Structure 1
Amino acid sequence: MDAAQWAGDDQQARAIVAAGFQQRIVAGDDLHLVVDRLPRVHRRQLILATAADAAGGAHSLAELDFLGLIRRAGLPVPTRQKVRCDSTGRRRYLDAYFEEWSVHVEIDGGQHLDPRAWWADMRRQNDLWIEGNRVLRFPAWVIRAHPDEVLTQLRAALGAAGWQPNS
C-alpha cells in the first residue's frame, strides 16, 4: 500500500499493486481492508481498481492494460490466469481465456525472449492448438503501442470462433 502511494506515477503504482498479487504477497480483498482503515490514502481509487483487476487475475501492467483495452472496446471480459495442466501434467496459467470461444491470449514480457522460455511458450501453445484452441500472443509493448492491431486480431479470432458483437 505504501509503495503504491509513494510511486513516482500512476503506472508505477499499478505495477506495484499487480506485482503484489502476482507474487502472492496479497490476495482477494487484502488491499480493500487496508484502504478502508486509512482515510487519506493517496491514489485510493487507482489502488482499489487495480487491486480488483489483479485479484481477478491481471498480474502485470501489460495484463492490466489489456483488460482496460478490451473493456473500452466493449469486448467480452476473459477469465484471467486460467489454470490448466500441460502435456507433462504441470499446472500452467493462461493470461486471458475467452472460454465460450476457446480463444487464449498470452501477453509476453521480456522474460519470454530467452530461447528456453520461448521454446517452453511454443510447446505450451502447440499443446493448446492440438486441443483445438486458438492462441494469440502479444508482446507487452504492443498492447500499449498498437492497441488497434491487438483489437483487430482479437475481434477476428473471436469472430472466427463464433462470437458476434452484442451477443
Structure 2
Amino acid sequence: MDVRQTRRLRLDDLSDDRLPRTRTPVAAVRAGLWARTDRQAGLLVSMAVQQRLTSPAELAVEMMRVRRDRRRMLLNELVVEIGGGAESLGEIDVARECRSRGLPEPTRQSARKGPNGRWFLDVEWKRYGVVVEVDGIQHAWAQHVVGDALRQNELAIAGALVLRLPLSGLRWAPDEFYAQVESALRSRGWSRRWPSGTS
C-alpha cells in the first residue's frame, strides 16, 4: 500500500458519495504528480478521461490549483492535448510525432456514425480521407477484433484509407510507420510545403 499526504487538501476535493473519497479529477491529477515516471503520469491522467471518469475541463480546473511541482508543465501540456481530442497516450504521441515530422495536424477522436452507433476514430485527416487507428494491446483481445474489423471495413467502403499503428510500432519501427502515414497522405493529395528558398 502506498499512502500519501497532500498539502493541497480542501473540503471540496471530497466526493458527495457516502463513501468518503477524493473526487476523480483531483485524484487523477494527484496520481499524475505522484507517479514514478513522466510516462506513468501521462498514462494515469489520460486513462481517467479515456474511461470517461472525468473530463479535460475538470482536469484543467484541478491543474490550475497546482502552483509548484516538477510535473506541472508536463501535465498542463497533457491536459491541453487531451482537451484537443486525444484520449490515449498513443494518440498524443502520434500527433506530436506528426508535428515534428512536418506532417499536417490530425483531428483526434473524430466522431462517425456507424451502423451500430457512433464511432470515434483515433486520428483522422478528413480532408485527405486518411484514418490512423492506434492499437493498444486491448485491440488483440477477442472481444475487440471483430468490432475493429467491422469498423475498418465500413470506413474502407465509405472511401477512407485506414492505417493501423500498433503502439509497439511507435516504439520499434516509428520511421517505417510514419513513412506509411506520409505516403498515404501524399496518395490522397497532400504535399509538403517547403519554406521559400529551399528545394
TM interval, short-chain normalised:
over 0.9
Q: Which runs of 5+ in 1 are unaligned?
A: none
Matched residues, number? 166
Normalised by the size of structure 2, how large is the TM-score? 0.79
Alignment of 1:137-156 (within 5 A): 137-156=164-183
Partner of residue 104 from structure 1, selected from 131, 139, 163: 131
Tell me the alpha carbon deviations over residues 26-67 of structure 1, each in whole angstroms, 9 at most, x when there is no partner: 323323322322312330110011111112122112222112
Tell me the alpha carbon deviations over residues 138-167 of structure 1, each in whole angstroms, 9 at most, x when there is no partner: 111101221101210000000000000128
Q: Give the number of the structure whose alpha-carbon radius of gyration is greater.
A: 2
Q: 148-157 or 18-27, which moves further after superposition?
A: 18-27
Normalised by the size of structure 1, how large is the TM-score? 0.93
Instruction: Answer 1 or 2: higher relative contact order, Cα 8 Å, separation at least 6.
Output: 1
Q: 109-118 or 11-20, which moves further after superposition?
A: 109-118
Alignment of 1:1-167 (within 5 A): 1-86=29-114, 88-166=115-193
The share of aligned pairs that are identical, in percent, is 37
Q: CA separation in 1, counterparts of 2:56 and 2:41?
A: 18
Counterpart secondary structure, 1:63: helix
Counterpart secondary structure, 2:176: helix
Q: Which runs of 5+ in 2 are unaligned?
A: 1-28, 195-199
Q: 12-21 or 94-103, which moves further after superposition?
A: 12-21
